[in-house]
């Protein structure tokens, strides 16, 4: 059953450490690819404004921790990344989906952002994210 606004966010160890803060949790398919790099850099560039709204940014992908660390270092991404190599988190959030590319069908991340309120409940869901302008939209709609 898909998650909805108002639902309690599925537990992630990291989220318990961020309890009481707003968390912008963005799922992306693969580190250091064009769309994912743009999205991550847009969140990086707006991070001071998210911080002013007491919001923490967290990126999640099926990449290994080493790939995420290399990606974060290469682009100066100053927020937390969570490796989800077994896609358990993506499945809990309902974003591990069947995708098609050039006639091939495979399972992967559907680019989605969740805003989780300080109470641990989902405040906003951005499904099937289009990268251009996304970080700005999320920032503008934060309470």
Q: What is the pLDDT of residues 112-140, one digit of tens each?
A: 999 999 999 999 999 999 999 999 999 99
DSSP E strand stretches across 22-136: 22-27, 55-61, 80-83, 96-101, 104-109, 112-116, 122-126
CB neighbours of residue 128 within 10 Å: 9
The pLDDT score that the predictor gives to residue 17 is 87
> Which pLDDT belongs to residue 31?
96
3-class secondary structure, 42? helix
The dihedral of CA 56, 59, 60, 65: what is its sign? negative
Q: Which of 9, 25, 36, 58 is catalytic?
A: 36
The tokens for 106 are: 């495979």
Tens digits of residue pLDDT in 3-54: 999 999 998 888 888 989 999 999 999 999 999 999 999 999 999 999 999 9
User: For residue 13, what pLDDT is reported?
Assistant: 85
Q: Which domains does the chain have, with CATH numbers?
A: 13-141 (3.40.30.10)
pLDDT of 143 above 80:
no
CA 27/CA 3 separation, integer angstroms: 14
* pLDDT of residue 101 exceeding 80: yes
Annotation marks residue 36 as catalytic = yes
């Amino acid at each position: 059953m898909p998650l909805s606004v108002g639902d309690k966010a599925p537990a992630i160890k990291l989220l318990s450490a961020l309890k009481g803060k707003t968390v912008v949790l963005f799922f992306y398919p693969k580190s250091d690819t064009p769309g994912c790099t743009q999205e991550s850099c847009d969140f990086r560039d707006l991070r001071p404004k998210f911080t002013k709204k007491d919001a923490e940014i967290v990126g999640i992908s099926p990449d290994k921790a080493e790939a995420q660390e290399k990606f974060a270092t290469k682009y100066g991404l100053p927020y937390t990344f969570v490796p989800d190599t077994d896609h358990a988190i993506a499945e809990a959030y309902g974003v591990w989906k069947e995708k098609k590319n050039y006639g091939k069908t495979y399972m992967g991340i559907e680019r989605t952002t969740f805003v989780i309120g300080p109470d641990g409940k989902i405040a906003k869901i951005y499904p099937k994210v289009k990268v251009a302008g996304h970080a700005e939209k999320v920032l503008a709609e934060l309470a």
